[in-house]
Structure 1
Amino acid sequence: MALVGAHGFGSVHLERMLRIHGSGRARLVGVADRRVVDGDLPVPQFPSLAAMLDDRAPDIVVISTPIHTHLELARLALTSGADVLVEKPPVTSISDFDLLAEAARDAGRQVQVAFQTLGSTGPAIVRSLMESGAIGTVTGIGAVGLWQRTLGYWRRSPWTGRRDLDGTPVLDGVVANPLAHAVSTSLAVAGCAAATDVSGIDLDLYHAAPIEADDTSSVVITSRDGMKVGLALTLAAPAQLPPWISVFGDTGRIDYYYEEDRIVVSQEGSKPVSYRAVRTNLLENLLDHRCEGTSLLSPLSRSGAFVAVLDAVRRWRLPRAIDQSQVEWRGAGGERHAVVRGIERWARRAAERQATFAQLGAPWAAAVSRVQE
């Protein structure tokens, strides 16, 4: 195994890879990063993936670098003969998705996308409950993400909060990156894997913080079979809460707290019933695939619908700035963060109705949101 990008979330990958290395199951053979990793590592460090591949021949390369570098690095790793685990989002456009899929086919190798919730049995359990009639006829799916991000977060690197960097799409907004799992997991619950599983995307994107990308957005996705998925996501909430996905039926609802692998089925007049999902680490799953032929849990092919949403975000105009009369700023210095007034109420309503903030008449929203077909 080799790691590209050992800082930020890459440090989580490094810790896991060192644990696997210590167990003897697989060997970590190199770490590539422009910045030297502090502390003693049992393997050499390299300034780039290319430099590492000149010296090493890893079977698996984990890529945890800025979004706009994923395609180039993944193609290089695939060409070298390695399977790839790439952080989310894998790419930001359908054209780049196709290029990455083509590179994997040409190399005869695999790409696993680090949507950890797709390594959980949670989406399958929720879909089984939907299909069994546990909540009657399903009327829609909604997701709510209420998080906070500080000014220090947005200032930590040149690409954070950007839509483009030197002409390359980055899309580092709430939909594409911080709450991307809400999008990908909702799509999995809706049975949307390929881009062709999505028939329509209605976008409504805003920012309260001084960034280019979106930090407060609503998205309504229509699946090929007509199911609507309403996403209400913000990084400007009064408090950070665990995100959740709700499936609404005519006799009840399913709430899926995907970070906790916890599912609750509620019906009027009955005591809620809880289920626990089991999660498999995606690097372990990729090792199992490489060594034993085990099926991948989050292959690139399952991210097509997610990338279709990002492609719509990329083609949309610039997110609108929320009028500061609708924003409260809390904290000081780098810990200062925006809070959109009433965001929790509007987010819950948008998810329940599968509607955008604009369609609901939120005070900061535009009169009409734009539909991407």
Structure 2
Amino acid sequence: MTVRVALIGANGHGRWHRRRLAPRHESGAIAFVGIAEPNPLDPDPPVPPGTRLFPDHHTLLAETRPDVVVICTPPGTHLPIALDALAARCDLLLEKPPLLSLADHTRLVAALAEAGRSCQVGFQALASAAYDELCAAVEGGALGTVTGIAAVASWQRDDAYYARSPWAGRRAVDGALINPLGHAVMQSLALADRVCSASRYAPLVTGGGAYLDAEQSVPKTLEVERYRTRPIESDDTAVLRLTGQGRPPVVVAVTLAGEELIPGEITVTGTRGSATLEYPTDRLRLPGDPGMREVPGRVDLLDNLLAHRADRAGVPLRAALAATAGFTAVVEALGAAPAPAALGDGVVADLGAGPQRVRSIRGINGVLRRAAEQHALPSELGVPWAHPPHTENSLQTTGPGTARK
């Protein structure tokens, strides 16, 4: 029987999902049975004939009875929509950030187990052959004992980017680390989990991505410096360091106010050498390689979810919700952290004008590279505009009603 798939949230990034669903519908691989979108639907891309439109997900679930729902709505709505979809016996493809607190994460994981359903999260870089090859090198000892993991990325976003939706630039749900560059955070955490799985713990799931239970996969201490170049609540530049739980230190240094583009690099350093993965392009350098080389091949996350539905024991999810507890802990901590420090015009240059104006921090690429190479924060590097970091010392226990340090 053809799997019935519905999309909840079809504008913005939902348009990307529409482009992925339409050809599968036309080929007969799935039946794209419905869209729930409360706002007028963007005309591009066109909706396949026969795909029904609904103003809310309740009506969609009741009238189309999908087998799988793709949830691409504002992050704060994910949990209630996901629970409704589970009550309708759907499997889920949930966009990032999946949830905003560890309490919500625990609740949804438990609901999935009770319903006998599965949830894939939209971290597509975890399904690349380049990532698999890097994991194999780490777990096979090619780098020796891993001493650190660091990610660096430098992007530019214009004023129009921050006007794209009501939640853009909002403190609890947006920011460089949480949304556009969340892949750098998740990829780094997943690699740290693989190191722990190989050295200390028995993995809970193998084949396409071992992961630890929630308590093991959440680092103990978070240190972060967050900065903004605009009058927004969230950061557009941040350096994050995660330590504890017997894990190698993880540093993620990213900006949306960059100079020349750094697409996104993750470097794993060990006692025998280092390896670098450029995760957006699937280019990889392992010890002995003369330079970066492309490693083609990604498993589509929807295709993986469909294959998993057909063989839940034999085909593991590539980005299972259960593997994202560390990411959710970071999201929760950042949502409760102090507001990012504002950087003034003496540090920031304007490029362009109007909605296409870009703000660029002078010398930021060098700062990010030094932070990644030294596993350090800008304030520790003596950067003149840096502020002292915010520190959380008990990520595993943070949650509603728990005091933060």
Is the contact between residue 265 and residue 274 of structure 1 (CA under 8 Å) also seen in structure 2?
no
Q: For residues 189-228 of structure 1, what are the structure 2 equivalents within 5 Å?
A: 189-191=191-193, 193=211, 194-197=214-217, 198-228=219-249
Match of 2:348 among 302, 327, 349: 327
Matched, 1:18 2:25: no
Matched, 1:142 2:150: yes
Partner Cα separation in structure 1 for residue 39 and residue 306 of structure 2: 27
Partner of 2:295: 276
**Helix, strand or coil: the match of 1:247?**
strand
Q: Residues 258-306 of structure 1, C-alpha deviation per residue, up to 9 Å, x if partnerless?
A: 1112211246xx7347461531000001111112332211111010111
Q: Which amino acid aligns with 1:325?
A: G
Deviation at 1:54, TM superposition (A): 2.4
Deviation at 1:139, TM superposition (A): 2.3
Deviation at 1:323, TM superposition (A): 2.8
Partner Cα separation in structure 2 for residue 153 and residue 78 of structure 1: 33
Partner Cα separation in structure 2 for residue 284 and residue 195 of structure 1: 29
Partner of 2:48: 41
Identity %: 39
Partner of 1:155: 163
Partner of 1:290: 309
Is the contact between residue 264 and residue 280 of structure 2 (CA under 8 Å) also seen in structure 1?
yes
Partner Cα separation in structure 2 for residue 354 and residue 276 of structure 1: 27
Is the contact between residue 225 and residue 388 of structure 2 (CA under 8 Å) also seen in structure 1?
no
Deviation at 1:71, TM superposition (A): 1.2
- What's the C-alpha RMSD, in Å, of the aligned pairs? 1.9
Which runs of 5 or more residues in structure 1 are unaligned? 164-169
Deviation at 1:40, TM superposition (A): 4.8
Q: For residues 28-177 of structure 1, what are the structure 2 equivalents within 5 Å?
A: 28-37=32-41, 38=43, 39-42=46-49, 43-163=51-171, 170-177=172-179
Partner Cα separation in structure 2 for residue 24 and residue 341 of structure 1: 51
Q: Which amino acid aligns with 2:220?
A: S
Partner of 2:368: 347
**Helix, strand or coil: the match of 1:214?**
coil
Higher deviation after alignment, 197-206 or 281-290: 197-206
Q: Which amino acid aligns with 2:120?
A: Q
Partner Cα separation in structure 2 for residue 285 and residue 236 of structure 1: 35
Is the contact between residue 228 and residue 343 of structure 2 (CA under 8 Å) also seen in structure 1?
yes
Partner of 2:384: 363
Partner Cα separation in structure 2 for residue 368 and residue 308 of structure 1: 18
Partner of 2:204: none
Matched, 1:27 2:31: yes
Aligned length: 365
Deviation at 1:203, TM superposition (A): 1.3
| Shift in CA distance, 368/64, structure 1 to aligned 2, threshold 3 Å | closer
Higher deviation after alignment, 235-244 or 195-204: 195-204
Q: Residues 51-75 of structure 1, C-alpha deviation per residue, up to 9 Å, x if partnerless?
A: 2122110000001111211111111
Partner of 1:3: 7
Q: Residues 126-151 of structure 1, C-alpha deviation per residue, up to 9 Å, x if partnerless?
A: 13222434344432111001011111
Which runs of 5 or more residues in structure 2 are unaligned? 195-210, 395-405
| Shift in CA distance, 177/265, structure 1 to aligned 2, threshold 3 Å | same
Is the contact between residue 337 and residue 390 of structure 2 (CA under 8 Å) also seen in structure 1?
no
**Helix, strand or coil: the match of 1:237?**
strand
Question: Which TM-score applies when normalising by structure 1?
Answer: 0.92
Partner Cα separation in structure 2 for residue 186 and residue 220 of structure 1: 11
Partner Cα separation in structure 2 for residue 277 and residue 370 of structure 1: 39
Deviation at 1:333, TM superposition (A): 0.3
Partner Cα separation in structure 2 for residue 32 and residue 314 of structure 1: 28
Is the contact between residue 223 and residue 241 of structure 2 (CA under 8 Å) also seen in structure 1?
yes
Q: Residues 207-261 of structure 1, C-alpha deviation per residue, up to 9 Å, x if partnerless?
A: 1122100110000112522301111010000233311101123443211011112
Higher deviation after alignment, 347-356 or 311-320: 311-320
Q: Which amino acid aligns with 1:33?
A: E
Deviation at 1:350, TM superposition (A): 0.7
Partner Cα separation in structure 2 for residue 241 and residue 278 of structure 1: 22
Q: Which amino acid aligns with 2:174?
A: D
Is the contact between residue 281 and residue 294 of structure 2 (CA under 8 Å) also seen in structure 1?
no
Q: Which amino acid aligns with 2:181?
A: L
Partner Cα separation in structure 1 for residue 170 and residue 393 of structure 2: 22
Partner Cα separation in structure 1 for residue 294 and residue 34 of structure 2: 40
Is the contact between residue 323 and residue 364 of structure 1 (CA under 8 Å) also seen in structure 2?
no
